[in-house]
Amino acid sequence: MTTARGGDRGVVERVAKLAREVFAARADGYDRRAAFPQEDFDDLFAAGVLGAAVPREYGGLGFGPHRRNTLPLWEITTSLATADLSLARCWEGHANCLTLIDALGTEEQKGRWFAGVVERGEKWAGWSGEPQASRHGEKRSFGTTLTPVDGGWTVRGSKAFATGATGAQWAVLLVDADGPGGARHAGGTGAGLMLLACDLSDPTVTVDGSWWDPIGMRATVSHVVRFDDTFVPREHLIGDPGSYFAGQWQTAFTPHYAASFLGAAEAVFTYAVAYLRHQHKSGDPYVQQRVGDMAVDLDTARLWLRHVAELWDSGERAGARIAGSRARHVIEHLTERTVRHCVRACGARSLMRPGPVERVLRDLTFYQRHDNDDHIVAMIGREVLGEQHDPSFHRP
Ligand SMILES: Cc1cc2nc3c(=O)[nH]c(=O)nc-3n(C[C@H](O)[C@H](O)[C@H](O)COP(=O)(O)OP(=O)(O)OC[C@H]3O[C@@H](n4cnc5c(N)ncnc54)[C@H](O)[C@@H]3O)c2cc1C
């Protein structure tokens, strides 16, 4: 299957080689230590890829939906996920923030922050996570409040699921002037939602490492982060209040998650084929059937992503938004099936370390809860029926 175009192909292949030959071997260690994949990011910076979603005029590669050159970005993400799904999640967050700055930022902001990425290897993270319903037995609550002060705002409170908390230098904070909830968990219209660039070296920003102990995606270090009246200057406001919802920017990132799911499934598929050949089981008709199913499922997932990328690149944003959710939905199920086929064809020992399958199974189980698939398909149904629908967060 042909993929990225022209010179972009070389970059995508360089990353695929790094993922295969270097990053895959590190994934188990990051997972066991629940450690941010710092060395992988150092290598991406050294390879000139950290600014993949930075426009070319600012020294980057100009990839991504806003630049109408979407597929190379998503293919890089898929490659990273073949090695380590946590790495891909941290990468997505970084790239998505750069896309937002490109789309909504001022020239001064772009000049300053893109130079940090391209010249100094700075990494970004995007933090909304303020779930309002507490977990059963959980005493703490999450949420931030914003206070206007001279020259900017102060942020007070906490965010959970702060991917890259111990690795990023900057975070785009999605904070609602109308009260706690961020973008995803606020009840209102989102008109007061602001995107604030926060310098994470500020001593009022602290990471609470006691909360993050999940089944998978451990190396995303998606800790709780606390803001103790953190001052954010007015010049760090990206776009106007409300522009995240008005521009439906979350829809540009929904298929990006699916690009990661696909990479994890590709890793499992490659492993399964090698494992089954090694065990001389290629002649077993049930094995053949499962391998055939996996191969077609992965083709289907790739075709969906390419279709959505083409819609973004052709400027058909309304179609791209809905197609992105459809792709996210279908790819979740295709990748789940791939892992199930692998385990059933290969057996129990395929779920033992040091093979990657048990980690992928844990990671996908957790990561696919990032959005609620029931809500996604219901949103698609509402769109088909001509009902009001929310393509950003699929809220009923
Ligand atoms: C690996 C990983 C990394 C993440 N990284 C980031 C990040 O970097 N930045 C960030 O901002 N967020 C991040 N998230 C958080 C994510 O965006 C969600 O906020 C988080 O997954 C919600 O957790 P939950 O499912 O426990 O919570 P809840 O939001 O409480 O959801 C529980 C379930 O209830 C459903 N639900 C919620 N509200 C309602 C309702 N009103 N009616 C009916 N059903 C409802 C949900 O859809 C879900 O299925 C990450 C999540 C994961 C898994």
Which of 90, 176, 369, 395 has most ligand 1 atoms within 8 Å of its beta carbon, as the pocket-test mutant? Answer: 369
Map residue 249 onto helix, strand or coil: coil
Tens of each residue's pLDDT in the chain, 396 residues: 445 566 799 999 999 999 999 999 999 999 999 999 999 999 999 999 999 999 999 999 999 999 999 999 999 999 999 999 999 999 999 999 999 999 999 999 999 999 999 999 999 999 999 998 888 888 778 999 999 999 999 999 999 999 999 999 999 999 998 889 888 887 777 889 999 999 999 999 999 999 999 999 999 999 999 999 999 999 999 999 999 999 999 999 999 999 999 999 999 999 999 999 999 999 999 999 999 999 999 999 999 999 999 999 999 999 999 999 999 999 999 999 999 999 999 999 999 999 999 999 999 999 999 999 999 999 999 999 999 999 998 888
Q: Dig out the tokens for 226 from the structure.
A: 């606390």
Residue nearest to atom 34 of ligand 1 (CA): 372
What pLDDT score was predicted for residue 2? Answer: 40
Distance between Cα 370 and ligand 1 center (Å):
5
Residue nearest to atom 43 of ligand 1 (CA): 396
Tell me the CATH class for 248-384.
Answer: mainly alpha
For residue 254, what is the DSSP state?
H
Q: Tell me the domain boundaries of the chain.
A: 8-122, 143-242, 248-384
Decide if domain 8-122 falls under CATH 1.10.540.10. Answer: yes
pTM, entire model: 0.96
Which CATH fold would you assign to the domain 143-242? Butyryl-CoA Dehydrogenase, subunit A; domain 2 (2.40.110)
| pLDDT tens track for 288-347 | 999 999 999 999 999 999 999 999 999 999 999 999 999 999 999 999 999 999 999 999
Q: Dig out the tokens for 366 from the structure.
A: 């957790």
Residue nearest to atom 16 of ligand 1 (CA): 370
Q: In sequence order, which ranges of the chain are alpha helices (DSSP H)?
A: 8-18, 24-33, 38-46, 70-83, 85-104, 107-120, 243-246, 250-278, 285-313, 317-346, 357-367, 373-384
Q: What is the rounded end-to-end Cα distance, in angstroms, of the chain?
A: 38
